[in-house]
C-alpha cells in the first residue's frame, strides 16, 4: 500500500472553536468538508487528545474559522501547537463572539454549527455539524494545506489526521543551503545559521528551538 497517494487529497487550514463556560477553546483542523447543502452540514475531524474535542462534545456547538493565505501564521502556531487546557489561545488573536462561540476575524469567514451526530474512530472524533450561522468577509484566497506546507513550510500538528510520524520533507529542499527545523512546529529556516533574534513565524519559538536537518 502506497500511502503517499493520500497526500493528493485537498485540505484547508481551519480554526475550530468552542466554549466551556467562560473558557474559550480552539484548535487547528485541516479535515473539514461540506457533506450536504440543505440544510448545510459539515463534517469535522478532531483528535481525541485535543481539549477542544471534549468541549465540543459537552457544548454541542462549535465554530469554524476558515484561514486565508494572508492570515497571521502565528494563529496556526497558537492553535495548532499548544493546548487550550492550559493556554488562553485568544489572548493575542483578534476574534469576536457569534452565538456564544469565538471566531477568528483574520480569516475568510466563519460558520457556527450545532452538533447533530458524532462518529468515533480510533484516534479522531468526526463531528457532523449543521450550520446555523455564517459570514464570508474576505475575497482573499483561503489557505490550503498545500499552501501552508509548501509556502509557509509548516508541518502537521501531531494531532492532525494528516500527521505522519516520519516527515521526510527535508530531503526535497534545496541542497545548497543549510536547513534548520523548528522542533515545535516543523517550520524550516534556510541559512548558514539561525540568527539569535529569529523567532519562528509559525509558533513563536526562539532560535534555540531550531536544529539542523540533513539533506
CB of 201 to Fe ion, least distance (A): 8
Residue 46 binds Fe ion, judged by CB under 5 A: no
Residue 200 binds Fe ion, judged by CB under 5 A: yes
Residue 111 binds Fe ion, judged by CB under 5 A: no
Residue 55 binds Fe ion, judged by CB under 5 A: no
* Region from 6-14, 94-102, 116-124, 177-185 binding Fe ion, contact rule CB under 5 A: 177-185
Residues 75 and 81: their CA atoms lie apart, in Å, by: 10
CB of 104 to Fe ion, least distance (A): 19
CA-based R_g, the chain, Å: 17
* Region from 1-9, 12-20, 147-155, 181-189 binding Fe ion, contact rule CB under 5 A: 181-189
Binding mask 128-167 for Fe ion (x = CB under 5 A): ----------------------------------------
Q: Which lies closer to Fe ion via its Cβ, residue 20 or residue 72?
A: 72
Extract the C-alpha cell encoding 212: 539542523
- Using alpha carbons, select from 159, 45, 60, 75 the residue that is nearest to residue 114: 60
Residue 75 binds Fe ion, judged by CB under 5 A: no
Residues 32 and 34: their CA atoms lie apart, in Å, by: 7
Residue 187 binds Fe ion, judged by CB under 5 A: yes
The size of the chain, in residues, is: 215
- CB contact at 8 A, 57 and 125: yes
Residues 109 and 189: their CA atoms lie apart, in Å, by: 30
Residues 42 and 35: their CA atoms lie apart, in Å, by: 5
- CB contact at 8 A, 19 and 102: yes
Q: Which lies closer to Fe ion via its Cβ, residue 26 or residue 80?
A: 80
Instruction: Give the SS3 label for residue 145.
Output: helix
Q: Which lies closer to Fe ion via its Cβ, residue 124 or residue 153?
A: 153
Judged by CB under 5 A, the number of residues near Fe ion is 8
Across the chain, how many H-helices and E-strands are there?
3, 12
Q: Which lies closer to Fe ion via its Cβ, residue 103 or residue 200?
A: 200
Residue 182 binds Fe ion, judged by CB under 5 A: yes
Binding site for Fe ion (CB under 5 A): 182, 184-185, 187, 200, 202-203, 205
Amino acid at each position: 500500500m502506497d500511502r503517499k497517494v493520500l497526500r493528493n487529497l485537498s485540505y484547508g487550514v481551519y480554526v475550530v472553536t468552542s466554549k466551556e463556560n467562560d473558557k474559550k477553546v480552539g484548535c487547528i483542523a485541516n479535515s473539514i468538508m461540506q457533506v450536504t447543502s440543505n440544510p448545510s452540514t459539515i463534517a469535522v475531524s478532531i483528535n481525541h487528545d485535543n481539549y477542544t474535542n471534549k468541549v465540543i462534545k459537552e457544548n454541542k456547538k462549535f465554530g469554524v474559522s476558515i484561514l486565508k493565505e494572508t492570515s497571521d501564521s502565528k494563529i496556526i502556531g497558537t492553535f495548532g501547537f499548544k493546548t487550550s487546557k492550559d493556554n488562553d489561545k485568544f489572548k493575542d488573536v483578534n476574534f469576536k463572539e457569534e452565538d456564544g462561540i469565538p471566531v477568528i476575524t483574520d480569516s475568510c469567514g466563519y460558520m457556527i454549527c450545532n452538533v447533530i451526530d458524532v462518529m468515533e474512530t480510533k484516534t479522531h472524533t468526526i463531528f457532523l455539524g449543521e450550520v446555523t450561522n455564517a459570514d464570508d468577509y474576505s475575497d482573499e484566497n483561503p489557505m490550503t494545506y498545500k499552501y501552508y506546507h509548501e509556502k509557509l513550510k509548516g508541518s502537521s500538528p501531531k494531532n492532525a489526521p494528516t500527521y505522519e510520524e516520519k516527515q521526510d520533507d527535508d530531503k526535497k529542499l534545496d541542497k545548497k543551503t543549510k536547513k534548520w527545523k523548528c522542533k515545535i512546529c516543523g517550520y524550516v529556516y534556510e541559512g548558514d545559521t539561525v540568527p539569535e533574534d529569529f523567532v519562528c513565524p509559525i509558533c513563536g519559538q526562539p532560535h534555540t528551538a531550531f536544529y539542523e536537518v540533513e539533506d
